[in-house]
Amino acid sequence: MWARRGRHGLPARAGIDLSVECSGRTLGEKESFSMSTRREFVSALGVVGAGAAVGFRSAAFAIPPIKREGPPELKLGCCAYSLRDYLTGKLEPKLTLDDFLEKCAEWKLDGAELTAYYFPKDPADAYLDHLKQKAAALGVAISGGAVGNTFCLPPGDKRSGQLALVKTWLERTAKLGGRTMRVFGGSPPKDTDPEEARGWVVECLQECCAAAAEHRVIVALENHGGVTGTPESVLAIAAGVDSEWFGLNLDTGNFHGEDPYADLAKVAPYAVTTHLKVQVSPKGKPAQATDFQRIVEILRAVNYRGYLSLEYEAKEDPLTAAPRQLAEWRKLLG
């Protein structure tokens, strides 16, 4: 577990140092990454204050990357979403999250990401405790959670509902022992200025990060199309969020430019967790198998320490394809 050593004086968690570098310096306990420093980076990106539009000039103006302690460490995991058709009963046999955890143990995985979609409605604390104990007994870490949401909403009841949803699942993820929770930015409503929509997302993320600090769970924004469809837009949003409890969920299949790997490399320094797809889809080309070794090189280059969680979306039965793919990746990791 970890925390950026920042101005709020939050306790550091062992394993990863999220102090940041600025002008060749490391900003640690005595010289933290202050609001004024953040504003300098935000200004360079063309990002203006909360409640206003969020823009960007160039990927060259990036927020300072996470600094991590120790050598790169890549752990294999799986997202419950990979078995969605079994967890929803679309395919037989219908599986539960207990079954999913057992599959993760059978496949010799380090972690399991529990997607909110597959929980009972309003799960009781006793159920969350059961899953936490089940995972511990199996020797599988609950790496984090994931929720489906949109933050591309102006102030109002709809936005308040989405904020309440995310905050509820931050609390539940904490009770499960997860250290990150994936969130979406969303897609701008029709005729909405994309920069205005980015501003809404920043406002929502800032509010959620306050709740995340309370529960000691990292809000992880995924590159998931819409307002997060390009690395430049992702970085512009990230630059506007001032919190030690914020990072990115790197999804290896969700950039669709001419060179998805180059796009992934731009945002990798800010990743706190990773969803690993079996395919990438470059612009104007058919889907192709993910170059796993290249993904590993990108992550090791930024000293990534965290999970690579399979998020399986291909056509083959995941109960057949997932363990085979994970075994192949494990060999490549060495």
Ranges of each domain in the chain: 51-64+72-333
Distance, in Å, from the CA atom of 203 to the CA atom of 51, rounded to the nearest integer, reads: 7
Taking every pair of C-alpha atoms in the chain, what is the biggest distance, in angstroms?
57
Distance, in Å, from the CA atom of 304 to the CA atom of 307, rounded to the nearest integer, reads: 9
Distance, in Å, from the CA atom of 159 to the CA atom of 22, rounded to the nearest integer, reads: 34
Per-residue pLDDT, 67: 80
Per-residue pLDDT, 269: 97
Distance, in Å, from the CA atom of 139 to the CA atom of 144, rounded to the nearest integer, reads: 15
The angle subtended at Cα 96 by Cα 94 and Cα 101, nearest 5°, is 125
CB 79, CB 310: distance < 8 Å: yes
The list of the chain residues with pLDDT below 50 reads 1-62
Q: Which amino acid is at 333?
A: L
Per-residue pLDDT, 43: 39
Q: Which two tokens stand for residue 233?
A: 């837009």
Per-residue pLDDT, 334: 84
Q: Which CATH architecture group holds 51-64+72-333?
A: Alpha-Beta Barrel (3.20)
**Taken in order 209, 222, 130, 11, is the CA torsion positive or negative?**
negative
Q: Name the nearest CA neighbour of 331 among 108, 180, 64.
A: 108
Per-residue pLDDT, 63: 65
What are the distances in angstroms from CA 164 to CA 160, 199, 228, 290, 313? 6, 19, 21, 36, 29
Distance, in Å, from the CA atom of 187 to the CA atom of 23, rounded to the nearest integer, reads: 35
Q: Residue 304: CB partners within 8 Å, gap ≥ 6?
A: 68, 72, 73, 74, 268, 271, 274
CB 276, CB 290: distance < 8 Å: yes
Residue pointed to by tokens 């612009």: 283
